[in-house]
Structure 1
Amino acid sequence: MTMKFSKFNPQQLEQYLERINYAGHASGTGTGEPRLESLKTAVERDPLTALTELQRRHLGAIPWGNSALHYSTHHSISVHPTAVFEKLVLRAHDGYCMENTNLLYVVLRSLGYRVYPTGGRVSRAVGSGNQSDEGYISFNHMVLVVTIASHKYMVDVGFGRNSPTSPLPLQENILAPLLAPSEMSLIKTSLTEFVDETQKLWVYRTRSKPQKGWIPQYCFSEVEFLPEDFAMMNYFTSQSRTLWFTHQLACTRVLMDEDKGIKPVGIYILSGTEVKRVSGGETTVVATIAEETDRVEALARYFGMHFRPHEIEGIRGLPSQIRTS
């Protein structure tokens, strides 16, 4: 049976907009979805600006992370749109790329945007943390391609620390701010692994400062992927013991300054036994984690995530459990 990408109903869209703190105003028609009314008007007036706001509010409200693989009894992830909605919107939990970007995809489809998903290959430099590593791993990332006024944009809310913070035109070498002073851009090139060098892919890359070198984050094509493709990718990403997702817990959330027009100004990063705040190129440790209760409290304080007792107990015996002497 063929799987279908779905849409959200008006009530679900209103719940999503409440989750991302969309500050819309009712038009006075009394439909019961005041934020949705306001958003639809904004999309009609300027779809690119509306898309940028959605992307940034999503990043600022919904964390990127893999907590379900650790704080749960099932240690699994579903990319079914209903499961994603319940987890990220109703439970206010985190999600990795095929959850976060999947959620935004269904929202954009429901709003009438011309959008489709494609798959990405994360660079080995990102996967290993060694910037000298070359090449890319297998497909394990989700990217959206949105067309507005005949122009295509790459949109992504599921790449953790280096998630793009605005729609990026599918054009080479257009510089855009990421989290100041870092920048992002796209180039189109062949992969060193390819036999046929005439095949070109988009490469999303970032640099920490204008004077620093570019680091490739992931590559992608403009070929549309199907739900079945992401179901396969998700199974491997969430279950393979060769990937860090299954034996390390990580979480990030972008910090926004609404006084500056919903501008991304920093990010919280939970990794290992610390929570760090990165802003303006400076890194500050805001919490040190000595035991599981510390991490649970940090996830609540800095990421707005709350777990039930049986979910917390689910981490016992896993490599990611923080063990005290």
Structure 2
Amino acid sequence: MFPLTFAENAVSIDAYLDLLGVRPGAAPSLDALARLQRAHIQAIPFENLNPLAGLNVSLEIPALLEKFAARRGGYCFEHNTLYRHALALLGFETTALLARVRMTAAPDAVTPRTHMLLLVDVEGERMMSDTGFGKMTPTAPLRLVPDLVQDTPHGRYRLVRLGDEWRLEAEAGGEWLHLYVFDPRPAYPADFDMSNWYVSTNPVSHFTRDLIAVRTVDDGRHVLHNARYSFQGPGRPGIRRDLASGDEIAQVLETTFDLAAGRVPGLAAKLDAIARRQAAA
């Protein structure tokens, strides 16, 4: 997963920290992990413009750095691959996992393992750390402790033990939403390559059919799902509006989400189709 030479690694960690605008301490710590996770999520938007436009999604570190530095974001495999690479270079002990997404799934449905997350062992504790779950991404590491309600800058979460598995839940409107289920067995580059290819090319994947973009800021999250824009923040009234055209969607991507949407080949036609589809619904 880390194919770069030592010299290239030094360059990549500097480029990554410059992108985040943070410099953690010299030694791995819980505080450094929390600072890196929140900075990553707020610096790099979540988006699926490449699979939506039918373009390749690379998990190579140089390609990820180049993409993110060019005002682009990505989804879980891109975010957490680069995040894990940086953590390893900074001395953190990490384990990469795959999870089954439960949001919007029927209770009895068996979903595929299509989400990447990390376990991080630091200061004698095992933490779950994730930078790529869209509008429900925890903005702080979570202790791997069953049923403990844990506050983050953008909401409350808990981990529920299910035998050998764990379920991540988020509080929303007084209820606990089931986000995803994982077990602590490590996954490997070949596993992520397979899952990444599946979600970025399969015509039934929502990443190839629907537009999803999330930009996290201090007081909430900007969310774009197809032609519907919303802003959600703890203790703040929500904002929601429908966008009327592909051009308006592109403008919101460029301004509100700071994404270079105009540079994505084939995207404009997809945005036009999404606007027409939502208008007809």
Give the TM-score normalised by structure 2: 0.89
Q: 2:95 matched to 1:116? A: yes
Following superposition, the deviation at residue 145 of structure 1 comes to 0.7
Following superposition, the deviation at residue 215 of structure 1 comes to 1.8
CA distance in 2, matches of 1:278, 1:63: 15
Following superposition, the deviation at residue 320 of structure 1 comes to 5.1
* Match of residue 157 from structure 2: 184
Contact 1:93 1:305 in 2 (8 A): yes
Q: 2:269 matched to 1:316? A: yes
Deviations 1:177-236 (A, max 9, x none): 2455x410101114xxxxxxxxx2011111115xx2322110111111110000000111
Following superposition, the deviation at residue 165 of structure 1 comes to 1.2
* Greater radius of gyration (CA): 1
Following superposition, the deviation at residue 312 of structure 1 comes to 4.9
Question: For residues 136 and 267 of structure 1, do their structure 2 counterparts lie closer, same or farther at Cα, with a shift above 3 Å needed?
Answer: farther
Amino acid at match of 1:274: R
Amino acid at match of 2:202: S
* Match of residue 269 from structure 1: 223
Contact 2:98 2:117 in 1 (8 A): yes
CA distance in 1, matches of 2:19, 2:212: 21
Following superposition, the deviation at residue 302 of structure 1 comes to 1.4
CA distance in 2, matches of 1:65, 1:134: 29
Question: Is the partner of 1:137 in helix, strand or coil?
Answer: coil
Q: 2:33 matched to 1:51? A: yes
Following superposition, the deviation at residue 136 of structure 1 comes to 4.3
CA distance in 1, matches of 2:228, 2:267: 21
Contact 2:253 2:259 in 1 (8 A): yes
After TM superposition, list the pairs within 5 Å mapping 1:121-270 onto structure 2. 121-123=100-102, 126-128=103-105, 133-178=107-152, 182-190=155-163, 200-209=164-173, 212-256=174-218, 265-270=219-224
Amino acid at match of 1:322: A
Amino acid at match of 1:283: G
CA distance in 2, matches of 1:178, 1:6: 33
Contact 1:248 1:320 in 2 (8 A): no
Following superposition, the deviation at residue 11 of structure 1 comes to 2.4
CA distance in 2, matches of 1:97, 1:176: 22
* Match of residue 67 from structure 1: 49
Amino acid at match of 2:232: V
Percent of aligned pairs with the same amino acid: 24
CA distance in 2, matches of 1:317, 1:284: 25
Following superposition, the deviation at residue 304 of structure 1 comes to 1.1
Question: Is the partner of 2:275 in helix, strand or coil?
Answer: coil
CA distance in 2, matches of 1:227, 1:85: 18
Question: For residues 217 and 134 of structure 1, do their structure 2 counterparts lie closer, same or farther at Cα, with a shift above 3 Å needed?
Answer: farther
Give the aligned CA root-mean-square deviation in angstroms: 2.3
Give the unaligned 5+ runs of structure 1.
25-38, 191-199, 257-264
After TM superposition, list the pairs within 5 Å mapping 1:69-108 onto structure 2. 69-71=51-53, 74-88=54-68, 90-108=69-87
Q: 2:238 matched to 1:283? A: yes
Question: Is the partner of 1:154 in helix, strand or coil?
Answer: strand
CA distance in 2, matches of 1:43, 1:163: 26
Deviations 1:85-135 (A, max 9, x none): 2212x2221100000111101110111111120111101xx145xxx6444
Question: For residues 6 and 67 of structure 1, do their structure 2 counterparts lie closer, same or farther at Cα, with a shift above 3 Å needed?
Answer: same
Question: For residues 216 and 10 of structure 1, do their structure 2 counterparts lie closer, same or farther at Cα, with a shift above 3 Å needed?
Answer: same
CA distance in 1, matches of 2:124, 2:273: 46
CA distance in 2, matches of 1:314, 1:206: 32
Question: Is the partner of 1:115 in helix, strand or coil?
Answer: strand
Contact 2:50 2:57 in 1 (8 A): yes
CA distance in 2, matches of 1:97, 1:136: 20
Aligned length: 274
CA distance in 1, matches of 2:270, 2:158: 42
